[in-house]
Amino acid sequence: MGSMNRALFLTLFFAAACGPERIAPEPEQTPAVEPPPAMTTVDPLTGFPCDVRQVLQANCASCHAGVQYVVHFTTREDLKNAGHTVPHLGEEIAVRMRPGATKPMPPYGMPQQPTLAERQLIDGWVQSGMPAGACGPLTKD
């Protein structure tokens, strides 16, 4: 058998052996679940830790993610004081979220108030240097 015939024979042999009747069906794939738009992931070196973002989104974003009459912040970098007139904004927020704060945030009377555990989470995050995470900026929603 010549080399050309051998190549043709091997091609036909493998084609027949791997034909559609011999291919095992692919297992059903579960579609990937994408995070909701507010929880899009970002560079883990610049975003919020997701648990921190969740607390800030629920308790702070309605006033601070787009309204002009209060200090605006939506990103971790904003809280690290990039372009703000309030020095150490992240530290200020942690202090104002503590129980019994003089100027509490959110203000008393607001319908959404963080739990003690949520306040402690933000305080701990700030005290540990506000490390980055994989969740994106706050949104006005």
Q: Where are the alpha helices (DSSP H) in 38-115?
A: 50-59, 61-64, 76-79, 89-97
Distance of CA 89 to the CA centre of its chain: 21
Taking residues 9-26, report their average pLDDT.
Answer: 50
Examine residue 134 and state whether it is found in any structural domain, yes or no: no
- 26 lies in some domain: no
Residue with tokens 């007139």: 85
pLDDT in tens, 85-130: 566 788 888 889 988 888 899 988 888 899 999 999 999 999 999 9
Residue 97 lies in a domain: yes
Q: Is residue 140 part of a domain?
A: no
Considering the domain boundaries, does residue 106 fall inside one? yes
Give the relative orientation of helices 89-97 and 116-127 as an angle to the nearest 10 degrees: 150
Of 139, 121, 140, the C-alpha closest to 131 is 121
Domain count, the chain: 1
Q: What residues make up the domain containing 84?
A: 38-127
Q: Is 79 part of any domain?
A: yes
Answer yes or no: is 99 within a domain: yes
Tens-digit pLDDT profile for residues 60-77: 988 888 766 577 888 888
Q: Which residues contact 121 (CB under 8 A, 6 or more apart)?
A: 51, 52, 55
Cβ–Cβ < 8 Å for 54, 61: no
pTM: 0.65
Residue 16: inside a domain: no
DSSP helix, strand, coil percent of the chain (3-state; round to 5)? 45, 5, 55
